[in-house]
Amino acid sequence: MDFSGFYLDDNILFNIFSKLSLKEKIKFSHINSLTYNNYVPVIKNEIYKFINNDYYNYYLLLKLYNYDNYEINKIGSYTISNMKIIKDIRDNKYRDLRFLFEIILKGYTKKYDNDNNVIDTIINKMINCKHFNRFETIRKIYQEPILFSLRRDITIKEPKDYLHIYII
């Protein structure tokens, strides 16, 4: 690839790209139209790596890039199937709903394919809480006990290495 008279082989460029952090990859993809067209699809697909693991990067990718209905349904299904269980200081167990919340705000409405009525109830409550803006949606979520794990006043006890970033 040519950078203003300086040529770099595509393999070397991909090796450089693969060593970057997510924010650096995003900035790198905006160098020119060739890097944008080559690397944005790669960056978009990195969302699967962050589902139920890294809320901040998951949120960043959902906010930055547009995903079609097929991709949103795929992300939503994967989010549901790999949902983590968290425990608060009173030893109550909850599902980590942050990732599901974000994908529902992007338009995910599909019902869970399993016989799990709890997940369907959670999805319905989130969809019913969806409002004209994010602030009002979060305000309505605070009124639903089944969505307690999305609140800011929850204190996570387990897993111990769990980094809980509240919904942004």
The residue-averaged pLDDT of 160-166 equals 65
According to the model, what pLDDT value does residue 114 have?
A: 60
Per the model's pLDDT, the better-predicted residue between 118 and 39 turns out to be 39
According to the model, what pLDDT value does residue 161 have?
A: 62
Q: Which pLDDT band, with edges at 50, 70 and 90, does 82 fall under?
A: confident
According to the model, what pLDDT value does residue 110 have?
A: 77
125-145 pLDDT, tens digit each? 999 999 989 999 999 999 999
CA torsion sign for 111, 67, 56, 51 is positive
Is residue 4 over pLDDT 70? Answer: no
Is residue 61 over pLDDT 90? Answer: yes
Q: Return mean pLDDT, the chain.
A: 87
How is the chain split into domains, by residue range? 9-45, 55-168
Per-position DSSP letters for 68-121, written without gaps between them: -HHHHHHHHHHHHHTPPEEEETT--EEE--HHHHHHHHTT--PPPSSS-HHHHH
8-35 pLDDT, tens digit each? 788 888 899 999 999 999 999 998 888 8
| Distance between CA atoms of residues 28 and 48, nearest Å | 20
Percentage of residues in the chain having pLDDT higher than 90: 55
